[in-house]
Chains A and B, each alone.
Chain A
Amino acid sequence: MTQAALQVVRISGHAGPVPGESVERAEQVCKLVDTTTCIGCKACEVACLEWNGYTFTETTFDNSYQTMPETAWNYWNLIKFNEHEREDGTLMLLMRKDQCMHCADPGCLAACPADSAIVQYANGIVDFQQEHCIGCGYCVSGCPFNIPKFNSQTKKMFKCTLCSDRVSEGLEPACIKSCPTGCLHFGTKDDMRELAEKRAHQLRENYGISTAGIYDPPGVGGTGVIYVLHDINNPEAYGGLPKDPQIPWVVKFWKGPAKWIGNLAMFFGVVGVTLHYLRFGPKQVHGPKLEGQVRSSGEKTDKNGGRS
């Protein structure tokens, strides 16, 4: 739903200006997920369902603690579990809270054809507006994180809202509120970056995890959800976190140069046939005169060959 208290800075499928385009005074909000202190308790999954009013659905067991293979239209927050084998042969159980990343440069919004179905607020939250969504699924192709999901009953797309309804009232998101270990933090992007840097530094200096670092991918302009990972060089190990996420180039081309090429081609197609008509006119059938032959039939036919 549209949050009246949140200024919109970007609108999907929109021809024309955006009311809050140049608003800069709002702070960017951000979730920080410290995977090194996550215990995989799934309290955030439950809190997400409870706050957003969804009931539990049947879960999938696939030899893992993971609730289901990927997020669903009514399951926006999923801990991804991965038994990761280190180079020395020892095992690590990696757990990562998966949800919408709230990209600064959102691929879903770029791909969306429906006016106002996806908006980005000045605080950085990317939000689906189901009343404008047409259910085409283009956002599925635009998202580099495989997040938007289709509800086949209502024919609308759904995903994590970063609790825009709570945030607009000054509350933290439900998942953050529920975390028992404090591995989830919420605040401004600057504060979360600083906290993440501190934690990564601590892991490198005090715990000997030399590869610890922060996941805040620049390919999508940075994200509204950032991670502290033990191994920043191998984000894929954390349930398929892409190493360098980008809006797919096909989607960029489709929504960029292809529009111009296609629109110009269609425009000149119409102009071309119009000019042809003005220059050469219609093909008339002149009939017997042309053939130098006298018509045998007494029936009258108009000169266009059509029925008179």
Chain B
Amino acid sequence: MSASRAIPNQRVGEQHGDRILRYTLAERVNHWIGGLTYVYCLITGLAFWSPYMFWLSDLVGGGSTARFWHPWLGLVFSVSVLWMFKIWRSDMAINSADLAWKKAMPRYIRNEDEDLPPIWRFNYGQKLFFWVMLWGMILLLLSGFGLWFVEGIPWSLRWLRYLSVAVHVAAALVTIGAFIIHVYMGTAMVRGGFTSIIRGEVSEDWARLHHRLWYEQVTGKTPRK
């Protein structure tokens, strides 16, 4: 098989029947590299966090193995998030449509989706999640180096050792909060969302309901009143 067929030349928004491509293969692969490495770091990190969760390290080969891989997979996660930043930064910029949507967010939470202002490819909550994960990754990466090479920080600068601990814990907890909401919404709450990050496509109806402006942009269909 030629490489061109193995790696399809996809474009976000292309239509197949009444299906619209929401995530290209590259975006999906990157999402899952980031997602799985995050989950690994979460499991091992929780094991290091509390004696009551240290058993989690047994799931991934024991404490020493967990300690060995945690920083390396953390690096892979960081690269993945940087890649997301590269491909999604313009889509993730918060615009005026988001501000109107943000005001109506209580209605979104109550599933009154028909009454929401139209938005582009991502909603305000998704954008918030993206920026929390990006800044969380940067803080986890920097403080992670402090923990990884703690002896490399001279005794006279030991406040950096303590700062690394504090920042790593705080950033991790913030990303865990965001992660819980992300997983819940992506799997249980927003039906159709999980299949879109697996196979890439959503239905026209889904796109019209959740991302009206993006739908109109990619399909060229005008708003109906």
Contact = CB atoms under 8 A, between A and B. Distances in A.
Interface stretch (A40-48, A95-103, A165-173, A255-263): A255-263
A80 to B, nearest CB: 12
B209 interface: yes
Contacts of B150: 137, 140-141
Task: Identify the interface centre among B51, B164, B173, B208: most chain A CB within 10 Å of its CB.
Answer: B51
A136 interface: yes
Contacts, number: 158
Given A258-B169, A285-B206, A307-B199, A135 B67 contact: yes
B95 interface: no
B206 A114 contact: no
A282 to B, nearest CB: 5
Given A138-B165, A250-B166, A304-B191, 4 more contacts: A134-B62, A136-B67, A155-B67, A269-B181
A92 interface: no
Contact of B109 (A254, A263, A276, A305): A276
A273 B179 CA distance: 11
A281 interface: yes
B165 A250 contact: yes
Interface in A139-173: 140-141, 146, 149-150, 155
A290 B161 contact: no
A236 to B, nearest CB: 12
A141 B162 contact: yes
B98 interface: no
A113 B49 contact: yes
A134 B147 CA distance: 14
A285 B162 contact: no
Interface in A263-295: 263, 265-266, 269-270, 273, 276-277, 280-288, 290-291, 293, 295
Contact of A283 (B66, B111, B177): B111
B180 A266 contact: yes
Contacts of A301: 18, 203, 205
13 contacts: A13-B54, A113-B54, A138-B147, A146-B158, A254-B169, A262-B173, A263-B50, A266-B180, A283-B190, A285-B209, A286-B205, A306-B192, A307-B199
Interface of B: 17-19, 47-52, 54, 57, 62-64, 66-68, 109-111, 113-114, 147-148, 150-151, 155, 158, 161-166, 169, 173, 176-177, 180-181, 184, 188-192, 194-195, 199, 201-206, 208-210, 224
A305 B191 contact: yes
A251 interface: yes
A132 B68 CA distance: 14
Contacts of B201: 307
A297 interface: yes
A254 B224 CA distance: 56
Does more than half of chain B's interface fall in helix, strand or loop, or is it mixed? helix
Contacts of A70: 155
A286 to B, nearest CB: 8
A270 B204 CA distance: 32
B64 A155 contact: yes
Identify the 3 closest CB pairs spanning chains A and B, nearest first.
A305-B192, A305-B206, A304-B191
A114 B54 contact: yes
B51 A14 contact: yes
A254 B66 CA distance: 20
Nearest to A70: B155
Nearest to A139: B150
Given A283-B191, A299-B17, A15 B151 contact: no
B162 A250 contact: yes
Given A282-B188, A283-B189, A137 B147 contact: yes
A205 B52 CA distance: 55
Given A70-B155, A287-B205, A305-B205, A282 B67 contact: no
A96 to B, nearest CB: 16
B180 A285 contact: no
